[in-house]
Structure 1
Amino acid sequence: MTLTASYEHCRRLHARHGRSYYLATRLLPRWKRRHVHALYGFARYADELVDSFTAADPSGALDALADDVEAGLAGARAGGPVLPAFLHTVQAFGIDHDDIRLFLASMRADLSVTRYETYDDLLGYMAGSAVAIGTMMLPVLEPLPGREASAREPARQLGLAFQLTNFLRDVGEDYVRGRVYLPLEDMDKFGVSPDELGARRTSPALRELLAFEAGRARDHYRAAAPGIGMLVASSRPCLRAAFDLYGGILDEIERRGFEVLEERVRVPRLHRAALFARQLLASAEAGRAELRVSMELS
């Protein structure tokens, strides 16, 4: 697997499984896109190992991946379809190795932990999954000089917002996999049993619970919003589009009255296209502005 082929493999994984964020990534400068694909591809690859119902030993496969990552971080030549691109991106941007280890620890939790008692417990899990991916993405998206530290918390909040949105959308699919990401404490408060998540229709009590969790997601989106302005101009249209696309999933869930069990909620294609087009002009102008600066400096 050459480095070029590894980046292309990651791009294809991103295009197939992360359609909303892949669309937003097209608003980035071309040179940045492959690095975002590499980070997504690594995350997706690890997730597929954990969710595999055909692998004889998912735990062993995850152990092998973690060992290969550690060897690669220490300078060994990487093999496999995603690690060459991933480790190249990690090295190029000085991505924090602890974030990588935290992410793999959360993937391991999915092999044994199927319930979370409180929201704080769930936050602990999300800190190593989507949050860690968000903080790994941050160097690629380039905070403005002097804003590197302050941009980290909004990046964490955006990871929480995105993942909680996914949990609300996928609550039925997760139940089929044997996992419940809605806090048991909240389920008990609203009188919802785990078995209700496997039904074909959403009960009134479950609708109230999902509305409560959607309010939490909205809080995370609000906390994340200031972080967009902390990035260089050429990265902002991508984040605004991703923010609106994932927020659009939450809007659609609410519009459907939290009926999420019958079919997967999706943002209508025309609406996705309109959100993308809204940021396209801003992306082009930011790119031209950076090119002018480059020409002036040369």
Structure 2
Amino acid sequence: MTRRELDAAGITEPALRSAYAHCRRLNASHGKTYFLATRLLPVAHRPAVHALYGFARWADDIVDDLGSGASTAQRAEALATLGRRLDAGLRSGHSREPVVQALAHTAAVYDIDHQYFADFMTSMSDDLAVTDYPTYDDLLGYMHGSAAVIGLQMLPVLGTVVPRAEAAPHAADLGVAFQLTNFLRDVGEDLDRGRVYLPADLLAAHGVDRELLQWSRATGARDPRVTEALKATAHLIRGVYRRAYPGIAMLTPVSRPCIRTAFVLYGAILDAVADDGYAALHHRAVVPRRRRAAVALDGLARVAAARLKAADPPPPPALVRLGHPTAPHAEAV
């Protein structure tokens, strides 16, 4: 499948093909929900999405999983090194680092604003020093770089049927909705890393603070105040999804099934948290495999319908097409 995607995208240079293949492996191993949705994109456009995700995954791993016992200073230096390589790669279009090489190529092909990557790196640096957010507005400031810009990076790859500026706010909201969903699902794991990504004022409105969260996490004891705070967080997140939803219809028809599938699958995470009694502080909620499979099959049906109604999508800009994409297959779930 990797070869088919790269051939369809017109990526022929061996080192560049290897770089994109590396990013695809990162996506497949770490971002299972996102990777499943990506399989519904036209084949020629998938490598770019893998490059964008691969870079974000690499930076996030430096912040969270650099290695057991790695100090904050070591993580900061590794992140700074990545930032320097990113800047050089974006300027020159080349890098010896596979992930940066694929990202630089994608940014050039799709004319993605380099400021989005700078904003992302700023938020990654914040993770090394900031451990909580007093208000939702404070959290939104962080999520602009960590999530909203991911949606904005994706827009040129997905294509729109309206001016890009009209679709951009919805794309940014969808990136934020996805990340907020992860914050709710992973609240316990984030607490173990010393971080609370739920706004302190929202928690306080239900009588919850960091100390109560830590006590509940350490003892395994449930507290109704925590449950209500997590319910309120889920309600807030669903509002962000509602704001993002109109943007799906603004995408090119062949891209809509991918993003709609991601929309539904991430929303299903919220449902799983609710079905689990908002016990996310104690264990991660999981979307049942049957549910994931049903959503994937629906996405495939929508892909087929979109392909019947429209001609094959054009290849990525500035690339030579090496064949016509065929209907994608759902990833095994």
Task: Report the CA distance shift for 1:190/1:286 in structure 2 as closer, same or farther (over 3 A).
Answer: same
Q: 1:209 to 1:292 in 2, by over 3 A?
A: closer
> What is the aligned partner in structure 2 of residue 121 from structure 1?
138
1:41-190 → structure 2 map (5 Å cutoff): 41-51=54-64, 52-54=66-68, 55=70, 57-75=74-92, 77-144=94-161, 146-190=162-206
Secondary structure of the corresponding residue to residue 272 of structure 1: helix
User: 235, 257, 274: which is aligned to 2:277?
Assistant: 257
TM-score by length of 1: 0.94
Segments of 4+ moved more than 4 angstroms: none
SS in 2 for 1:120: helix
Q: Aligned to 2:43, which of 23, 27, 30?
A: 30
Residues in 1 aligned to 2:228 and 2:26: alpha-carbon distance in whole angstroms: 35
CA contact (8 A) 1:201 1:261 kept: no
Amino acid at match of 2:40: L
Equivalent position SS for 2:279: coil
Q: Do residues 197 (structure 1) and 213 (structure 2) align?
A: yes
What is the rounded CA distance, in whole Å, between the counterparts of 1:160 and 1:2 in structure 2?
34
Tell me which of the two structures has the higher relative contact order, counting C-alpha pairs closer than 8 angstroms and 6 or more residues apart: 2
In 1, Cα distance between the equivalents of 2:199 and 2:246?
A: 28
**Residues 42 and 313 in structure 2, CA contact (< 8 A), matched pair in contact too:** no
Contact (CA 8 Å) 1:202, 1:260: kept in 2 or not? no
Provide the secondary structure at the position in 2 that maps to 1:180. Answer: coil
Change in Cα spacing, 1:76 to 1:53, as seen in structure 2 (3 Å) is: same
Distance across 1 between alignment mates of 2:302 and 2:93: 41
What are the ranges of 5 or more consecutive residues in structure 1 without an aligned counterpart?
none
Deviation at 1:293, TM superposition (A): 8.1
Sequence identity percentage? 48
Task: Check whether the contact 1:118–1:185 (CA below 8 A) recurs between aligned residues.
Answer: yes
Q: Return the offset for 1:267.
A: 0.5
**Offset of residue 292 of structure 1:** 6.0
**Whole-Å Cα distance in 2 between the matches of residues 288 and 187 of structure 1?**
49
C-alpha contact (below 8 Å) 2:177/2:241 kept by paired residues: yes
Query: TM-score normalized by structure 2?
Result: 0.85
Code of the residue aligned with 1:160 in structure 2: it is V
The 3-state SS of whatever aligns with 1:260 is: coil
Change (3 A) 1:293 1:240: closer
